[in-house]
Amino acid sequence: FTLGAALATPLLATLLSACGRTEAPAAPTASAPTPAAAPAARIYTVGTDAVYAPFEFQNERGEIQGFDIDLVKAVAQRAGIEVKFVNTPWEGMFNTLAQGDRDILVSAITITPERAQTMDFSAPYFDARQLIAVPAASKVQRFADLKPLRVAVQTGTTGDEVVSQLLGKTNPRLKRFESTPLALQELDAGGVDAVVADNGVIAHYVAHHPGARFKSVEDPSFIPEQYGLVVKKGNAALLAQLNDGLVKLLADGGYAEIHTRWFGAAPTALPGSV
C-alpha cells in the first residue's frame, strides 16, 4: 500500500475532491490568498483591591481569587469580552479609570449617589451592609455605643462614612487604615475598640480568626448597600456589555453557583431586590 496507490482509488479521490484538494497543494506564492487575520481581541483590565476576602484576595501563589473575581470572569464570558485582573490599591483606585489604566473596577464597591457622579455603575450584583467587629467580651450592642470608643475603618469606604458621621470626621479616635485587614489587625492588637466594615468581610474574618475571639454586632440603622461593577463615566458600550453579562449570569444559574461557592448557599434574594 502506497500513498500513490491510495490516491488512485476512486473513493479517496472523491473524498479529496470534496475537500477541494485533488492535487498536492501548490507551494504558497506571494499572490496566494492568506486567511484574514482575526482582529486582535481587546483585553479589558480589571482593577481590584485584593485584600478583601472573600470578595478579592491573593492566594499563596499570588493569584487573585474571590467571589468578585469569579463573578467578573463569568460576566465577561457571557458578554463575550476578555478580562485580566490587576491588583490595585483602594486608595487612588477610582482615578485609574480616568487615566485609562483600568477599564473595569470590581472591589465590593458600594453604589452611592456621590460616586455615581464621577463613575458609572452596573446593575447591583450583591447586597451588603455595615457590620461592627468587637472583641468577644465587648459590651457594645449597637452602633451608637461606639460614640466614646476608638474605631478603625478602611479609608474612603462606606464604613469610613458612617463612622465619620457618628464620631466626627476629624475625631482622633477614628483611625483610618489603607485596608480592612489592617484595621482588623489593629483591633486584634488592642489599638482600637471596634472596626466597622462590610458584613461579608467582617463575617469572614471572625470565622477565620477564632484565636482573636472577635464577635460581630449588627445594627438596624445601617442602610442597605449594593455592590456594582464600575467603568469610566460615559463608557456606555462597556457598561451595556457588563449589564448584559450580569443579566445572563443571573438567568442561567451561574450567579447562584458562584454565590454558593463562596458563601455556602444560594442567595435568598436577587441582588438589589431588598
- Crossing angle for the helix pair 180-188 and 199-208, to the nearest 10 degrees: 50
Q: Which stretch binds ligand ARG (CB under 6 A): 30-38, 101-109, 143-151, 251-259?
A: 101-109
The answer to whether 110 contacts ligand ARG (rule: CB under 6 A) is: yes
Q: Which of 155, 164, 109, 162 minimizes the C-alpha distance to 132?
A: 162
| Rounded Cα gap, residues 60 and 257, in angstroms | 24
Which H or E element spans position 225?
strand 225-227
As measured in angstroms, the least distance from the Cβ of 94 to ligand ARG is 10
Q: Print the SS3 string covering 166-203.
A: HHCCCCCCEEEECCHHHHHHHHHCCCCCEEEEEHHHHH
Among 65, 96, 122, 157, binds ligand ARG (CB under 6 A): 157
Among 52, 57, 121, 125, binds ligand ARG (CB under 6 A): 52
Among 44, 57, 67, 90, binds ligand ARG (CB under 6 A): 90
As measured in angstroms, the least distance from the Cβ of 55 to ligand ARG is 6
Cβ proximity to ligand ARG, 122 vs 158, nearer residue: 158
The answer to whether 85 contacts ligand ARG (rule: CB under 6 A) is: no
Cβ proximity to ligand ARG, 96 vs 157, nearer residue: 157
The answer to whether 56 contacts ligand ARG (rule: CB under 6 A) is: yes
CA distances to 58, 63, 160, 177 from 66, in Å: 8, 10, 23, 22
Q: Assess contact for 129 and 197: CB atoms under 8 A.
A: no
| β-bridge partners, 65 | 57
Q: Assess contact for 126 and 263: CB atoms under 8 A.
A: no
Among 75, 83, 108, 246, binds ligand ARG (CB under 6 A): 108
Cβ proximity to ligand ARG, 78 vs 159, nearer residue: 159
Q: Which stretch binds ligand ARG (CB under 6 A): 49-57, 78-86, 163-171, 183-191?
A: 49-57
The answer to whether 185 contacts ligand ARG (rule: CB under 6 A) is: no
For the chain, percent helix, then strand, then coil, each to nearest 5? 35, 20, 45
Residues at the interface with ligand ARG (CB under 6 A): 49, 52, 56, 90, 107-110, 154, 157-158, 198
